[in-house]
Chains A and B, each alone.
Chain A
Amino acid sequence: MAGDVNEGYALRLKGVTKVFGGIKALDNVDFDVRAGEVHCLAGENGCGKSTLIKIVTGVYRPETADLIELFGEKLEAITPVMARAKGVSVIWQDLALFPNMSVAENIAFDEMVGLRPKGVDHAGMKTRAAAVLARLGVTLDLNAPLESLLIAQRQVVAIARALMNDARLIFMDEPTASLTQSETDRLLDIVRKLSADGVAIVFVSHRLAEVLEIASRVTAVRDGRLVGVYPTKGMTQARLGELMTGHLLEDKVVAASKDSGPIVFQASGLTRPKQFTDIDLTIHAGEVVGLVGLIGAGRTELAHTIMGMTQAASGTMQLQGKPYRPASIRDAIAQGLAYVSEDRLQLGLLQKQSIADNAAIAVLDTLLDGTGLISPAKKDDLITGWVKKLGIKIGKPENAISTLSGGNQQKVVLAKWLATQPKLLILDSPTVGVDVGARAGIFRIVRELADQGLAILLITDEVTEAMFNADRVLHMAQGRIIAAHDPRTTSVAQMEAAIYA
């Protein structure tokens, strides 16, 4: 049975064009997905991926389309109701689940939707939810409120919910953005299982390594146009990145043999029980030090202590040769440290405020005029200066920060901290949710900053990121720094083996 299902197409689109305000978001794009296939939709932010998904789910109606075909049936247009009835499902990055409701209710929620009053069959709902979870090979507490689950588990709940609706074509938007490596592996296993079941999956992800691992074909889109459809066999990350961005992204080790500058930061014997133990860390001026390891290895906790958000139980720190013992994050910032946190959306930016206000918030006291009020002219200078220096693409500085793409938001966060003229910059997972083109831009800036003499600690989950951008890579496991690697003499494979072994 699985054999002839795989023959057909779940979706075929030909010559789809969608225009927003005179601009072609999609220009004569073809897209097809075979039944049971794992297909990757690749492209930079704003290339038209989301528009394409919204056309398939009936949210948008294309201006022109030569062919729209769902599961072998030709259609004039797709409506949301039709898409759902035919088994098209989207798992958005924010999951659209209900935190206070139980796991069972979240999975079976769609059967309760509708205006015709009917009773809720709690017991039956649980049985059906359990059956779907069993199909995925997962056990979860069906009565637990969703908010008590880990993000990875919520992801599973969202997939189970799609399956409850008999989904045969599932779009997954950045499903692994906030998952750890082992959670990602488990998710990919589930995706494989679904695919073997005949469910077609369209995977949208900025992590090219996992895209190449899971998908059999990849459709690359750039600026609303189809670049091409390629088998993933034989495809490399560098080649795919090039297809997506249109220019070659060089993935090569940038660590250079140069005289290291004076020591900027030094920690010795730094310990905080249950988080990290006996940390010795030296960072020189002009140096990018990569810090890799599994989630839970204590990397972020270490950064928090360096930033004065938590206090070490023992050990000492020095900043430019002087004892450094920050009492609070304010204190750390005042002494010349800056921290770009991993959770950009919630901690790094004030989403509803303007770009200008976000960039200026850490240095408001330097923007005062003679009367002690914030000088608009000084603020404008600050913004335009950084926008130019970092190549941030913005509309107007007074637009809300939420109007920017992930990469540009991250650059604003950088600008905010660089405005404080730090001596040591700590970057914690700076590229989560940032697409491949913008990612290269961010690391170009990081390198330039280092060349200007800034000391940088780069915490990342992706080994390649550290390898290609740091001068030295430290491996942290279970709260200890267990190895130091030189990117020029260690291969990515060696280092990945060491970390994930």
Chain B
Amino acid sequence: MRDFLKNRQVEFRLFLVLAALFVVLSLTTDTFFTLGNLTSLLNNNSVNLIWAVGLLVVLIAGGIDISFAVASSVVQFVAASLLIGMGGGNWLLGFLICGSLGVGLGLINAALIHGFRIISIIVTIATFNAYFGLLMYLSRGRSIYALPDWWTDRIAIFSYQVEGGPAAELTLPVAVMAVCVGATWFLIRRMNLGRQLYAFGDNPEGARRAGVNLAVMQGLAFGWCGLMAGIAALMQVNIVQEVVPNALYGRELEVLSAVVLGGARLGGGKGSISGCILGVMFVAVTQNGLNLLGVSPFAFQMIIGAAILIAISTSNIDFGKVFASAQGGKK
């Protein structure tokens, strides 16, 4: 247990901060700690977490992806056009189309990075712009509202009638999110492929010498991120019931912040599912709390920015030691 905590210091610290936030918000607002608020928090952040676990895999493999949120917009638009064109479709087709489109867009990134030996941030900034420009051009900025019913129908997987209020519900995206998180955990923790991803991010030259196929690793990382972007695209439509071409633009930085807060290292080789979940929860709860407290929404980004700076600049401090020496000083 001690080892567990020692190797998960970032996660443990974030957990404490999050717990403190929970207590403070529960005491200062009467709406935060209600079933209704908590379930809607989960519903509204399921897409962020799906993206986050995809991005986590890329970060572990030593890369970075700026393009995934815009890729989701492209997937939404193309999938909606295709499904409407074929007269409706169903969930199975939806998953197949969105998933494979997402994987395809991810593999384009991987191919550019590996094929031309360009660093991932440059490639994905380029594809971010290219995808978004192309999407705005093709859609002419117009949203799609006439979507198949199966896609936009709200599907509750859990429902509880609060007395005298609206029902608290967990919807389909939460279940899909849980599956994505579980699958990613299985990939990076329990599969040899996932461990090779860690090794690739940790010491690419060492991995190459050990016989790890670097092209496949790059493809796996960005392909997985793309798959998650495709699934996130499908779920986002289910939540907002429309396809707006520029709706997801800018979300990538929010997700990136959350994953980095959760302890994933931009240099590669480090990052965990638990940290990822906590990071997304921290961002979500902060945003929700500020809302409930009536603070200006502009403060949100400032606070997230400050949180990242504090997290990174204190991550090298061993608080156990500081505490011990402070106590020693008193004696």
Contact = CB atoms under 8 A, between A and B. Distances in A.
Nearest to A100: B269
Q: Chain A binding site: helix, strand, loop or mixed by DSSP?
A: loop
A305 B190 CA distance: 50
Nearest to B193: A117
Size class of the A contact interface (CB-based, 8 Å): 20 to 34
A439 to B, nearest CB: 28
A119 interface: yes
Given A109-B199, A114-B192, A117-B193, 8 more contacts: A96-B210, A101-B269, A109-B195, A109-B210, A113-B211, A115-B213, A120-B194, A144-B3
Contacts of A101: 195, 198-199, 202, 269
Contact of B269 (A98, A109, A117, A144): A98
A144 B2 CA distance: 11
Contact of A118 (B189, B191, B210): B191
Nearest to B270: A100
B199 A143 contact: no
Interface string A84-113: 100000001011111111000100011011
Contacts of B265: 100
Contacts of A80: 211
Contacts of B190: 119-120
Nearest to A143: B3
A109 to B, nearest CB: 6
Interface in B183-215: 189-196, 198-199, 202-203, 205-207, 209-213
A145 interface: yes
Nearest to B271: A100
A38 B211 CA distance: 27
B195 A120 contact: yes
Contacts of B194: 120
B216 interface: yes
B192 A118 contact: yes
Q: Which 5 A-B pairs have the closest CB atoms?
A: A96-B206, A112-B192, A100-B269, A98-B202, A112-B195
Nearest to A114: B192
* Chain B contact residues, majority secondary structure: helix
A202 to B, nearest CB: 18
A117 B224 CA distance: 15
Interface residues of B, number: 26
Contacts of A105: 195
A132 to B, nearest CB: 17
Contacts of B270: 100
A94 B269 CA distance: 18
Contacts of B207: 98
B327 interface: no
Given A109-B199, A145-B7, A97 B206 contact: yes
Contacts of B198: 98, 100-101
Interface in A433-476: none
A421 B197 CA distance: 50
B202 A100 contact: yes
B278 to A, nearest CB: 19
Interface string B260-292: 000001000110000000000000000000000
Nearest to B213: A115
Nearest to B3: A143
Contacts of B213: 115
A350 B196 CA distance: 31
A286 to B, nearest CB: 45
Contact of B7 (A109, A114, A143): A143
B202 A115 contact: no
A117 B213 CA distance: 13
B7 A113 contact: no
B7 A120 contact: no
Contacts of B189: 120
Contacts of A95: 206
A113 B213 CA distance: 9
A140 to B, nearest CB: 13
> Which of B192, B202, B203, B212 has most chain A Cβ within 10 Å?
B192
Contacts of B196: 112-113
Nearest to B268: A100
A94 B195 CA distance: 21
B216 A115 contact: yes
B133 to A, nearest CB: 35
Nearest to A125: B195
